[in-house]
Structure 1
């Protein structure tokens, strides 16, 4: 069965990964050079041990639209930008506390209206758990004295959060996302 050629993005990823692998491994560089020259090489019956290399994952740029839309919602419902931009050093704790209640209520409304959020771990904070080999390092950050290989035993200091569903409002084509709060002019 003939295999389809990889896509352009797959080839770019392969090229970058191969580039760094060739720089790091002289034997691989020699094999690639021979392959490009059309030579057939006889590999030794017992190849040299291969040192595992970290996987090079290309970074992708996040589209700013969702972030700008969320920032606009936080400003509209909670006056979030106004609060953060304000120098609160001269205000009393009571005044700041009163403002925080308004900001908190608005931010909470935006989160509840726009997302379904659930904890990453179901156990209570402070619970003792064991992380097996192959645990999801994107979902669990190991802190403290990390030595050796999993399984790791430790206590949950934060359950984490994951977004299960996103419900940002639909936008018209003329909506300018970079204007997160229009200027207001009273007549």
Structure 2
């Protein structure tokens, strides 16, 4: 016999028996069970309602962007300004312009016409003495001077006397002034004027005809 069977035999409990009468104690116990079940159902409803409201709030709320802290923004702006001051300026890109060689070929032809410039350059002068070369150079000089003065107006870039002290200001035109020697620091610079420089103020090249070939700077001459 098992322990449970011996226990049931000792107390003689009949499990098939059912209560036939309800006293006040059973009524209170049944009422308590009903109240607890109602409270439990109410709590479940409250939890479901609160959960649904929480989901709706999450869906309706928009994510606000994070606003930077004002002192941090000011510090970053100051750092950027300091970097701009410290960094060296980026040089502007060099843009190469393309020119047609017609004007240069035309001027070369004028120098050949007035001073036989190309003939002088292509001549082998090693067989001539200095006096002969000097006489030929005088002729070439006069012809070149005539051709240049006839078709160009020239003016010096600087009007000061060569050898005088010159102050080069900040933002000077690097194409008009060339610095040489020991260049240290930034402008303004002070130095001695070595060469005045030249600039063309007017160009008077003759107009070319439609069928002119600018590559022919000197036509071949045939005597009949």
Structure with max Cα Rg: 2
Is TM > 0.5 for Structure 1 vs Structure 2? Answer: yes
Q: Which of the numbers 136, 145, 152 marks the counterpart of 1:115?
A: 152
**TM-score when scaled to structure 2?**
0.62
Q: Residue 106 of structure 2 aligns to a residue in which SS?
A: helix
Correspondence for 2:116: 79
| 1:67 has 2:108 as partner | no
| 1:185 has 2:218 as partner | no
Structure 2 residue ranges without an equivalent (≥5): 1-67
| 1:168 has 2:191 as partner | no
2:95, 2:192 → 1: CA distance?
33
2:91, 2:171 → 1: CA distance?
15
Question: How do 1:98-113 and structure 2 match up within 5 A?
Answer: 98-113=135-150
Q: Which of the numbers 159, 166, 171 marks the counterpart of 1:129?
A: 166
Correspondence for 2:194: 157
Larger proportion of helix = 2
Q: Residue 89 of structure 1 aligns to a residue in which SS?
A: helix
2:199, 2:151 → 1: CA distance?
13
Give a deviation string over 1:2-60, Cα, whole Å, max 9, x none: xxxxxxxxxxxxxxxxxxxxxxxxxxxxxxxxxxxxxxxx9x65264243211002111
- After superposition, the CA RMSD in angstroms is 1.5
State the Cα distance separating 1:62 from its structure 2 match.
Answer: 2.2
Q: What is the number of residues matched between the two proteins?
A: 145
| 1:96 has 2:105 as partner | no
2:218, 2:206 → 1: CA distance?
16
Structure 1 residue ranges without an equivalent (≥5): 1-41
1:53, 1:157 → 2: CA distance?
30
Q: Bigger relative contact order, structure 1 or 2, given CA contacts below 8 A and separation 6+? A: 1
Give a deviation string over 1:73-125, Cα, whole Å, max 9, x none: 00000000000011111110000001001100000001110000000000011
Correspondence for 2:181: 144
**TM-score when scaled to structure 1?**
0.74
2:172, 2:92 → 1: CA distance?
17
